[in-house]
Structure formats: structure tokens, C-alpha cells
Structure 1
């Protein structure tokens, strides 16, 4: 996997980063936790420009978020689950993943699209409940843009700082994901309290 990612970035530069991040949002096993830090490392070698890497990764992420959003919106929950149960094994998906993403969306609302982009394992699936709940497209793109930009900026900077040790980024993502989850829980609690006061 690492060799393929490295070769793609080396051969296609920014286009390769955008392509990999597009695929990462559609096919879960391709990890952005390797793509963007590796791209950040290439910046230290003078082969790419930092902000070019971030923009390429973010454009790829946004484009990759759209297929699941549109498919879920068009098919609806029952047909989507039938399709996933039949073909999802190729994408490492099952209907339980759809249920989990639905629960997250129902519990935390539209903001989960923003925070979901920062959490490994959820990032790929967060487009599904947004599509199923027919979240307005502009709102979906706005939240996805902010979340993807923050995530890609963090990973690129980590790869830039760590240099050849960019592989260590994955080890530090556990605490980052925990902080995001706690922040999301606090956001939900504050929201509930404000609603009750009203």
C-alpha cells in the first residue's frame, strides 16, 4: 500500500494526491493518515509546495465525499443497505456501518459532517447519513470543506515536521480522535441545554 501511494504521488504530484484522497473517501482501506503525511514529507524535499499539497488533498476529499452523498440521497436507506449487503464486502462496508453513521447524524446533527471529517473510520461514512437525511448540498459541502481542510492541514503539517518519520503520524491520531469525540459530546450537551432553556 505504502509503495503504491508513494509511486502515485511521485508520478502525478498534486494530481496524484487529489486522486488518492478522492479514493480514500470512497474506499475506506486507503488511509489519508499515510497519504497526506507522505505528501507533507515531499514538501521538505522541495518537490512540492505545502499549500499546494493541502489544496490538492482537500479538493480530492471533497470530490470523494460526493459519490456516497448522492448515492445515499438517490437510493434511500433500504435500497442502499441491500446494495451494501450485496457488494459492500469489496469496500469493507456492511449495513451496520450505515446504521452507526445514521445514529451519529441523528444524535449530533449536521455538525457531525464537520467533526466526522476529523475522525478516522467515520470520515468515509459520514456522507451517507447526510445524503439519506437529504442535508442541503451547500451545507454539506461547507461542513465537508472546513473539516477536510483542517484534517489535511494537520496531516500535511505532521508529515512536514516529522520528515522521514511521517509513519509515526498514525500513532498520534488516537488521542486526536479522542479529543474530537469529546469536543463533539460537549457540543451536543451545550446544544441540548440551550434547547431545554428555550
Structure 2
């Protein structure tokens, strides 16, 4: 994977950076933790401009973010109501909880989207609740762009500073990603346990 990313950036420059970040957003297994540090290393070597690297990476990721947002918005949360009412035990949510989440998102959605873009693992998924709950596109776009730019700049800067040792970034971010994933899994299991007990009246 790393060799392919390096080769594509060497051959395609900013277009390659943008294309890879688009793919990373749409298909999360392609890691931004490799793409942007490699691009940052190229900027340190003088073959690319640091600021254009950040701009192209942000633009590519935002294109993917918008695709997810529009797909989720077209679906709409109301279409999920029958699924949630029927299979609420597995999604660990009831429809009243969804309605309360809509109210919460209207108040805190900007912060949620901005912060979510800065977190590994969940950053590619932030567009889904924003789209489902029909967050204003302008608000979504601004919050997402700021958060995405911060993430790409952070990784590009790390690659710029570490150069050939950019693989260390993937190790650190990978550890953080695993920790976040573990928290999400534990949280789901905890909600599943409580939801079942609530249904049984225990």
C-alpha cells in the first residue's frame, strides 16, 4: 500500500494527493495517515509545495465528504424509522432517542462535525449523521472544511518534519485509531446490554 501511494504521488503530484484523499474518505481502508505524510515529505524535499499539498488533500477529502453527506441526506433519517422500531435492540436506539438526537444535533452539530473530522476512525463517518439529520449544507461544508484542513495539515506537517521516518506517524495514529475503535465497540456492547435489560424490565 505504501509503495503504491508513494508512486502515485510522485507521478501525479497534487492531483494524486487529492485523488488518494478522495478514495480514503469514500473507502476508509486507504489511510490518510500514509497519504498526507508522504505528500508532506515530498514538500520537504522541494518537489511539491506544502500549502498546495494541504489544499489538494483537503479538496479531495471534502469531495468524498460531500458524496457521503448527499447520499445520507437523500436517504433521510425518517426512512430508517421502521428499521429502528423493528430492530432497535441491535442498533441500541429507540425512535424517541433518535428524535432527541435530532434536537441535540441542531444545537451541537457544528462542533460535532468539526471535532469528528480531527479524529481517526470516525472522521470518514461524520458526514452520515450530518446528512441523515439534514444539517444545512453551508454549515456542514464550513465545519467539515475547517476540520479536514486541520487533519490534513497536521499529517502533512508531520511528514514534512519526519521525512523518511513518516511511517512512525502511521504507528501512532494507528494506535489512536485502535483505541477509538475499542471505545466504540465497548460502548456499543454496553448499550446493547442495557437496551436488552430495559426491554425485559430487569
Scaled to the shorter chain, the TM-score interval is 0.7 to 0.9
How far apart are 1:176 and its partner, in Å? 10
Distance 2:172 2:9 in 1: 23
Q: Do the aligned residues in 2 keep the contact of 1:38 with 1:166 (CA within 8 Å)?
A: yes
What are the within-5 Å matches in structure 2 for residues 31-110 of structure 1?
31-77=31-77, 106=105, 109-110=109-110
Q: Provide the C-alpha distance between the structure 2 equivalents of 1:57 and 1:31, rounded to a whole number of angstroms.
A: 12
Cα displacement (A) at 1:80: 7.6
Deviations 1:33-82 (A, max 9, x none): 0000010011122110111101110111111101110000001247689x
CA contact (8 A) 2:109 2:135 kept: no
Q: Distance in 2 between matches of 1:34 and 1:138?
A: 30
Larger radius of gyration: 2
Deviation, 1:132, is 0.3
Contact 1:65 1:124 in 2 (8 A): yes
What whole-Å deviation, never above 9, does each CA across 1:77-125 have from its counterpart, x for those lacking one? 47689xxxxxxxxxxxxx96xxxxx87x859533111011111111111
Q: What does 1:12-27 align with in structure 2 at a 5 Å threshold?
A: 12-27=12-27
TM-score between the two structures when normalised by the length of structure 1: 0.73
Report if aligned partners of 1:9, 1:17 keep a CA contact under 8 Å in 2.
yes
Q: Corresponding residue for 1:91?
A: none
Aligned ranges for residues 44-193 of structure 1 at < 5 Å?
44-77=44-77, 106=105, 109-173=109-173, 174=175
1:8-54 CA-to-partner distances (Å, cap 9, x unmatched) read 11111000000001111110101100000010011122110111101
Give ranges in structure 2 of 5+ residues lacking alignment: 82-89, 92-97, 180-202
Number of residue pairs matched by the alignment: 162
The change in CA–CA distance for 1:78 and 1:136 in structure 2 (over 3 A counts) is: closer
Is the Cα–Cα contact under 8 Å of residues 17 and 39 in structure 2 kept in the other structure? yes
Residue equivalent to 2:188: none
Contact 1:110 1:130 in 2 (8 A): no
RMSD of aligned residue pairs (Cα, Å):
3.0
Contact 2:117 2:144 in 1 (8 A): yes
